[in-house]
Chain A
């Protein structure tokens, strides 16, 4: 009964927002995005429902699929860099899995689909956001700092050194929103997991501890993912002869 109410309310809100947003010329887009979100989340719920009845290893292809879609999103954001897709998927997957495993190893979360899928999705989603921001900025810095990069190259520096300052800037600017969020955690906002646990009747202390552990791990995953991605993307901006490419795609 509750779900019917919530969904009806959602549909009502999407239509209302779209009607209002027509004056900005984005009415259709909101209908489309809203419908997509609704359908996707219902499919996800059904998948989790099915996974409850299946053996545990069924969760992993689902996570891999999520990481692949996240990787593709970041890859598109990078302007479809040469060799960019496998690198993006790899970075996001490795970083997410690495930071997720401890939660199950030490027993904060039981090893069940009910925990694996949603927590995995938070890690993957955040790693994707941070990586997209980072690669976009990295590319922008490289475009704007051609003269500096070529001066380094002309002294015999390898591309990694020549583009080092740009890489640092890319990661830094991608992490700034997360750092600000971390500073304001508990003051300006109560993050999703804690909210969910509180709504579900959990003890506030327990909810807060799990939330902060998750939050810091998610931050670390974002940092690792973006670092891996930028590191392995550097080659795409240079030719085999260590020349800065003229044309770096869109």
Chain B
């Protein structure tokens, strides 16, 4: 058996919505449990607004749980330096953001920050970013291109866990399956643990792995 890599115990999260100038509390996640083994792939589906993005943000500690505990390799994520935690738990956002500068600048951000040795050329080839795009201004890319850039940028950090928030939502079928293959290969090669949020049932079936659905604040087997 693989050792448990990531574990969520009894996690709850409320958000505050402004309604007519009053703050209204809504519970998004309630007593949620999840166990993911090292090198395992988990897909998470769920209705729009069910809290999928909220869940991922808790795991790399972009926001804080209200109760419950999240463990990385058996240690509370709050015992890690947040920056180090986020290097180890990479995240690709639902809405990709390109930083100012060229595509190359974007891809090398994490590598420079953490002194990694991933090659830009390898990263871009693997994620399907054409070579002639490398020196283009990243701000002008299409959403699909930005999506590939943010996947490559996250991989540059050599994370051990990858949180993917609908990473292929703006890609055509060919690019989409190419990214799927890349991520699945990485998962096997590097024993990468992946949490993959998707709204496409076909995608979840295609990529395999454990399939979960977020419903009423908890994860259920699909």
Query: A residues engaging B (CB < 8 A)?
Result: 147-148, 150-158, 161, 165, 239, 241-244, 246
Contact = CB atoms under 8 A, between A and B. Distances in A.
Nearest to B109: A155
A137 to B, nearest CB: 17
Contacts of B110: 155-156
Nearest to B84: A156
B212 to A, nearest CB: 22
Query: Which of B90, B91, B97, B109 has the most C-beta atoms of chain A within 10 angstroms of its own C-beta?
Result: B97
Given A147-B97, A148-B99, A154 B86 contact: yes
Interface residues of B, number: 27
A239 B62 CA distance: 10
Nearest to B60: A154
Contacts of B86: 153-156
B96 to A, nearest CB: 8
Contact of B64 (A148, A150, A151, A243): A243
A153 to B, nearest CB: 6
B62 A156 contact: no
Contact of A243 (B63, B95, B100, B113): B63
B100 A156 contact: no
Contact of B83 (A150, A151, A242): A242
Given A156-B83, A156-B157, A243-B61, A147 B113 contact: no
A156 B63 contact: no
Contacts of B153: 155
A241 B100 CA distance: 25
A82 to B, nearest CB: 17
Contacts of A148: 97, 99
A151 B93 contact: yes
Contacts of B109: 155, 157
Q: Which 4 A-B pairs have the closest CB atoms?
A: A156-B87, A151-B97, A242-B82, A156-B86
Interface of B: 16, 60-64, 78, 82-84, 86-87, 90-91, 93, 95, 97, 99-100, 109-110, 113-114, 150, 153-154, 157
Query: Which of A150, A239, A246 has the most C-beta atoms of chain B within 10 angstroms of its own C-beta?
Result: A150
A246 B25 CA distance: 14
Given A154-B62, A157-B83, A243-B64, 7 more contacts: A152-B99, A155-B86, A155-B109, A155-B110, A155-B154, A157-B113, A244-B62
Contacts of A244: 62
Nearest to A247: B16
Nearest to A151: B97
A153 B91 CA distance: 10
A244 B64 CA distance: 11
A165 B100 contact: yes
Query: Which of A147, A158, A241 has the most C-beta atoms of chain B within 10 angstroms of its own C-beta?
Result: A241
A216 B82 CA distance: 42
A158 B150 contact: no
11 contacts: A148-B97, A151-B99, A154-B62, A154-B93, A155-B110, A155-B113, A156-B110, A156-B113, A157-B113, A241-B64, A246-B16
A22 to B, nearest CB: 32
A203 to B, nearest CB: 50
A158 B82 CA distance: 9
Contacts of A243: 61-64, 82
Contacts of A152: 99
B113 A154 contact: no
Contact of B93 (A147, A156, A157, A158): A147
A50 to B, nearest CB: 50
A165 B101 CA distance: 12
B113 to A, nearest CB: 6
Contacts of B63: 243, 246
Contacts of B60: 154
Contacts of A154: 60, 62, 86, 90-91, 93, 154
Contacts of B90: 154-155
Contacts of B93: 147, 150-151, 154
B78 A241 contact: yes
Given A150-B62, A165-B100, A155 B78 contact: no
